[in-house]
Amino acid sequence: MSKISILIPTYNEKENIEIIIRTIFSLHPDIYIKVIDDNSPDSTANVVQVLMNEFPNLSILKRKGKEGLGKAYINGFEEILQDGTFSHVCMMDADFSHDPKYLSEIIKNSLDFDVVVGSRYIKNGGTEGWELWRRMLSRWGNFYCRNITRMPIRDCTGGFNLIKAEILRKVDFSRFDTSGYAFIMELKYSFYKLGAKFKEVPIIFKNRTGGESKISNHIIREGILAPWKLIIKK
């Protein structure tokens, strides 16, 4: 039987974290959730610690400061893999842009595939609430990445992913040097080079319901350079 841990990185997600945790557990009471908090000034960690008294399958990894999405996930992966009892790890945002209602379909597909991607860019997938420039940037970025790296997926940058622990153990994270959303691109490319079997499941990605967007000029620049760096170094 699968034992799944959902990793949720947070920085100033006090508005969202309790709701997303309660929603996930209402749908999947046997799943595990680990919040990875980068010392949020808004006391996100305090909210999680109170909820831990109610939910035994909830834990928190408190980091010293904000170092980027990539390092947060790597620290989370390391803790999960050290445990040794988990069969799968799920990456998920705290802000409801990744709707927990898709978890059942994603988990079902994980039986036959190494990496299941919640995809915005296959049939029945899409985005809601984004400005035109953001939609164009994301579509162009995925087309750009896919054509340079030749990854067999349409959503190279989406962060809603379920991964077999077995394939995750084979990734050499010491070679990673991406800090933002390009980390997700690098992670998927690593799985691709390891021969992982991918499956994309359609999702509607909704603009965050609270808090502030994490996108920045640095993240955009990093995303433009990342595909070329990947094919050179991997």
Taking all residues of the chain, what is their mean pLDDT, rounded to a whole number?
Answer: 92
Structure confidence at residue 66 as a pLDDT band (50, 70, 90)? confident
d(CA 164, CA 169): 9
Domain that holds residue 63: 4-233
pLDDT in tens, 175-228: 998 877 789 999 999 999 999 999 999 999 998 655 455 555 666 667 677 787
Query: What is the maximum span of the chain, computed from C-alpha positions, in angstroms?
Result: 48
Q: How far apart are CA 24 and CA 108, in angstroms?
A: 16
- Sole residue written with tokens 């990342």: 226
Distance in angstroms (rounded) separating the CA atoms of residues 228 and 214: 23
Report d(CA 44, CA 37) in Å as an integer.
7
CATH number reported for the structural domain that contains residue 79 in this entry? 3.90.550.10
Domain count, the chain: 1
| pLDDT tens for each residue of 95-130 | 999 999 999 999 999 999 999 999 999 999 999 999
Burial class (CB in 10 A: 0-12, 13-18, 19+), 55: middle
The Cα–Cα gap between 93 and 205 comes to 11
